Amino acid sequence: MLNIVIFGAPGSGKGTQSERIIQKYGLYHISTGEILRSEIENKSALGLIAEEYISQGHLVPDQLVIDMLAELIDKTAHNKGYIFDGFPRTLSQSKALDDMLRERNTSIAAVFSLSVEEEELISRLLKRGETCGRCDDNLETIQNRLTVYKEQTEPLIEYYKKKGKLFKVKGLGSIEDIFESITEVIDRLSY
């Protein structure tokens, strides 16, 4: 299996690059943000809880997201591999992910960290807020999300670096050029 994590601050282009990677390598896309937004739309019990956190720019509690992911992985056991987009976001989520994959005799092949300057992130997210109406794309929530990213998610860079799995990619430039830097790495991986 080819399992990839796409990692970066809100607005860094994780979703866009994930779509390209799926098209080329036929992976199963897991975006925890998208799943949570659909739970909110369906007004499920999980959605009602998640909405309170998301609208404030906070993370949804680890155990809820981990359980949600475990259930999905169980349901989608037979595929070429996964692309995890927006997960893991905390150290405890990354450990849970390692365990889940180990139980299935597989592991993460590579983690791509997309780096984009903060000013650019804010401008991208504000622009997205104008067009697609995501309730968390407003200035106050964006600032909270960036703080949460720095405090809780950025430390994962070190975690994956130590495991030799981290690949830094410049998130500025054309979508095509960024995608090419990612595929160069994937095509050299043995998995």
For residues 130 and 144, what is the distance between their CA atoms, to the nearest angstrom? Answer: 18
Q: Based on CB atoms, which residue is closest to ligand ADP, 87 or 179? A: 87
Where do contacts with ligand ADP occur on this chain (CB under 6 A)?
10-11, 32-33, 36, 53-54, 57-60, 65, 86-87, 89, 93, 136, 145
Residue nearest to ligand ADP (CB): 33
Q: Smallest distance, Å, CB 68 to ligand ADP?
A: 9
Q: Based on CB atoms, which residue is closest to ligand ADP, 140 or 184? A: 140
Handedness of CA 9, 4, 179, 191 (dihedral sign): positive
Rounded to 5 degrees, what are φ and ψ at 164? 75, 25
Q: Based on CB atoms, which residue is closest to ligand ADP, 3 or 32? A: 32
The residue ranges of DSSP E strands in the chain, in sequence order, are: 4-8, 28-31, 82-85, 110-115, 166-170
Other Cβ atoms less than 10 A from the Cβ of 146: the count is 18
Q: Smallest distance, Å, CB 9 to ligand ADP?
A: 7
Q: Smallest distance, Å, CB 112 to ligand ADP?
A: 14
For residues 133 and 155, what is the distance between their CA atoms, to the nearest angstrom? Answer: 30
Q: Smallest distance, Å, CB 58 to ligand ADP?
A: 6
Q: Based on CB atoms, which residue is closest to ligand ADP, 93 or 113? A: 93
